[in-house]
């Protein structure tokens, strides 16, 4: 009999909606090697948590930003909060609260579809609220309550995890990410850890943020929502959580969709290599697209486009331009470009922003950067960058300064569009070097077990952020069905405008009808 994985255990709507939704799917820094969750039989002592009754009510008072307040004012939406142990080793100790937002089923509800949009750092409550019109047109919402959740530390969940203010992120005063974080000393790493502990209300809140605890929270959510088995949709990093849940609680799985699936068989550096290679491939495609016009800002030779990009952005290192009363640094520019590469539909926006940048105008590039981070008009960030760091620091085996420096150099080789001294020529320390607890993750993060329930992996062949090879590996590891999708975008179901994709996923979620071997759609 074929073996399947088990966790190693050592201790079509508007472009506006599409942009808002896909901004939460994945941070470039956001791949996490999953922490080792416990065997499902060890979840003793959780009775009071499993017996909670949800008090659904209006959502306006739960929003943490003006943008969410506007979304949450929709009378079709309901909100609630679920208590979970802060530390599962001490279930009678301090509690955390996980925020939920649901769109009730239009018909008789057969259960709930739990949704996570990725990150780490993405808010499921915001995601569902911003995609209400997509769900209301979906047959899934006739039979299932659509429930977005904010993983611990994120959005409306408490305790919140905070290291830097939104203003500090605007000003470039927080650690900046190129191919690794620009942390060049042990002192900087220690300052980051101290700020995060202080801003998050203490070390205990910080070190319990890892993925293993989120998966255990998900099982409490399933029980409190009244479902004997979990029906779940996870994008990008959310696919990691879904795979972890499947391997930890296989008997409690009804249907799990993993869209933009992360490779389970790669170490964190190996995945980073594959991700940057995917970004470079999409940049090469963008350059070829641009070269079809004689006045292309990247030139008419796509093979020289990376060098041409360097010519455009190099001056920003010493003299960053200003837009919206903010300095636009080179890290901002590369976030904007990378975010634009997540969807082929955004390529013209990247080209226009580069054209304007060369002419001395940075506003269009800043808009791309802000869109990727989900920055709102009032200066709030939809993506929780601090929680992203906290989750990764608890999940990732940590690199030494020598290993992190070598990683930066290698990533410049894998993705020459990033091969600038400001990104690759320094001496780099891990942002997690001084974290107040050791990581809990293993690599590889899946071992083999048998007889997992059938799940569904959706993987876009030209996905720049979670390459298709990883989707194939995820489907193989879980014994899952695989839907391959022709296109060049990160994430497909509901967000890709493909009736074919939506039809296949709907059939699985509603009636557990898996697609045939070799199933294929296009965006």
Continuous H helices in 108-181: 124-130, 132-136, 140-143, 166-171
CA atoms within 13 A on the CB side of 219: 27
**Angle between helical axes of 347-358 and 330-340 (0-180°, round to 10):** 150
- List, in sequence order, every residue forming a beta bridge with 35; answer none if it has no partner: 441
CB 369 within 8 A of CB 336: yes
Q: What confidence score (pLDDT) does residue 444 get? A: 77
Q: What confidence score (pLDDT) does residue 13 get? A: 36
- Distance of CA 217 to CAs 30, 223, 229, Å? 20, 10, 14
CA atoms within 13 A on the CB side of 186: 2
Q: What confidence score (pLDDT) does residue 45 get? A: 86
Give the integer Cα–Cα distance in Å for 514 and 281.
31
3-state secondary structure 384-410: CHHHHHHHHHHHCCCCCHHHHHHHHHH
The counts of H helices and E strands in the chain are: 22, 13
Q: What confidence score (pLDDT) does residue 219 get? A: 98
- Beta carbons within 10 angstroms of residue 295's beta carbon: 8
Q: What confidence score (pLDDT) does residue 448 get? A: 64
Ordered by where they begin, the domains of the chain are 3-161+202-266+445-514 (3.40.50.1820), 163-199+267-373+397-431 (no CATH)
Could you list the active site residues? 236, 463, 490
**H helix or E strand, kind and range, residue 459:** strand 456-460
Local confidence pLDDT in tens for the 523 residues of the chain: 333 333 333 233 333 344 445 555 555 555 444 445 555 445 668 999 999 999 999 998 899 988 999 999 999 999 999 999 999 999 999 999 999 999 999 999 999 999 999 999 999 999 999 999 999 999 999 999 999 999 999 999 999 999 999 999 999 999 999 999 999 999 999 999 999 999 999 999 999 999 999 999 999 999 999 999 999 999 999 999 999 999 999 999 999 999 999 999 999 899 999 999 999 999 999 999 999 999 999 999 999 999 999 999 999 999 999 999 999 999 999 999 999 999 999 999 999 999 999 999 999 999 999 999 999 988 999 899 999 999 999 998 999 999 999 999 999 999 999 999 999 999 999 999 999 999 988 787 776 667 899 999 999 999 999 999 999 999 999 999 999 999 999 999 999 999 999 999 999 999 999 999 999 999 9
Instruction: Transcribe 54-112 into DSSP letters.
Output: ---B-SGGG-SSHHHHHHHT-TT-EEEEEEEESSTT-TTS-EEEEEEEEE--SS----E
Q: What confidence score (pLDDT) does residue 240 get? A: 94
Residue 311 main-chain phi, psi, to 5 deg: -60, -35
**H helix or E strand, kind and range, residue 365:** helix 363-373
Q: Which of 12, 126, 121, 117 has the alpha carbon at shortest distance from 70?
A: 126
Give the integer Cα–Cα distance in Å for 261 and 463.
10
Q: What confidence score (pLDDT) does residue 14 get? A: 37
Burial class (CB in 10 A: 0-12, 13-18, 19+), 360: exposed
- Cα radius of gyration (the chain): 22
Q: What confidence score (pLDDT) does residue 21 get? A: 52
Place of tokens 């919140």: 160
Q: Which of 115, 109, 138 has the alpha carbon at shortest distance from 128?
A: 115
Q: What confidence score (pLDDT) does residue 396 get? A: 87
Q: What pLDDT, in 10s, does the model give residues 406-415?
A: 999 999 999 9
């Amino acid at each position: 009999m074929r073996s399947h994985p088990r966790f190693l255990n050592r201790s079509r709507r508007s472009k506006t909606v599409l942009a808002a939704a896909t901004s939460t799917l994945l941070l470039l820094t956001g791949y996490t090697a999953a922490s080792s969750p416990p065997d499902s039989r060890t979840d003793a002592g959780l009775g009071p948590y499993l017996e909670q009754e949800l008090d659904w009510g209006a959502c306006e008072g739960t929003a943490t930003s003006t943008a969410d307040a506007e979304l949450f004012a929709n009378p079709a939406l309901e909100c609630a909060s679920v208590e979970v142990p802060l530390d599962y080793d001490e279930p009678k100790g301090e509690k955390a609260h996980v925020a939920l937002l649901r769109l009730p089923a239009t018909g008789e509800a057969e259960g709930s579809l739990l949704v996570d949009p990725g990150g780490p750092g993405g808010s499921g409550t915001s995601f569902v609220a911003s995609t209400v019109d997509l769900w209301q047109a979906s047959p899934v919402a006739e039979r299932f309550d659509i429930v977005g959740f904010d993983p611990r530390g994120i959005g409306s969940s408490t305790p919140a995890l905070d290291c830097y203010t939104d203003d500090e992120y605007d000003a470039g005063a927080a650690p900046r990410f190129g191919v690794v974080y620009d942390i060049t000393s042990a002192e900087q790493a220690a300052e980051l850890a101290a700020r995060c502990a202080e801003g998050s209300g203490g070390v205990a809140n910080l070190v319990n943020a890892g993925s293993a605890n989120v998966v255990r929270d998900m099982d409490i959510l399933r029980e409190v929502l009244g479902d004997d088995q979990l029906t779940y949709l996870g994008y990008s990093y959310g696919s990691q959580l879904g795979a972890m849940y499947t391997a930890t609680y296989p008997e409690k799985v009804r249907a799990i969709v993993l869209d933009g699936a992360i490779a389970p068989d790669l170490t964190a550096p190996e995945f980073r290599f594959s991700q940057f290679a995917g970004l470079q491939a999409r940049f090469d495609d963008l350059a070829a697209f641009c070269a079809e016009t004689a006045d292309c800002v990247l030139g008419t030779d796509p093979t020289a486009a990376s060098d041409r990009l360097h010519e455009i952005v190099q001056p920003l290192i010493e003299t960053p331009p200003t837009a919206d009363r903010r300095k636009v640094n080179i890290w901002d520019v590369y976030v904007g470009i990378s975010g634009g590469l997540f969807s082929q539909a955004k390529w013209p926006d990247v080209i226009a922003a580069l054209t304007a940048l060369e002419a001395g105008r940075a506003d269009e590039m800043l808009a791309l950067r802000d869109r990727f981070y989900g920055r709102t008009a009032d200066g709030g960030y939809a993506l929780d960058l601090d929680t992203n760091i906290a989750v990764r620091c608890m999940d990732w085996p940590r690199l030494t300064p020598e290993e992190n420096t070598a990683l930066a150099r290698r990533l410049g080789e894998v993705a020459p569009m990033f091969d600038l001294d400001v990104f690759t020529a320094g001496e780099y320390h891990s942002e997690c070097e001084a974290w107040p607890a050791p990581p809990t993750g293993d690599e590889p993060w899946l071992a083999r077990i048998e007889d997992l329930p059938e799940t569904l992996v959706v993987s876009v062949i030209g996905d720049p952020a979670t390459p298709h090879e990883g989707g194939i590996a995820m489907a193989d590891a879980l014994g899952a069905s695989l839907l391959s999708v022709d296109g060049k975008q990160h994430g497909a179901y509901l967000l890709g405008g493909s009736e074919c994709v939506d039809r296949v996923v709907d059939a699985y979620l509603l009636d557990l009808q898996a697609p045939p071997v070799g199933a294929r759609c296009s965006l």
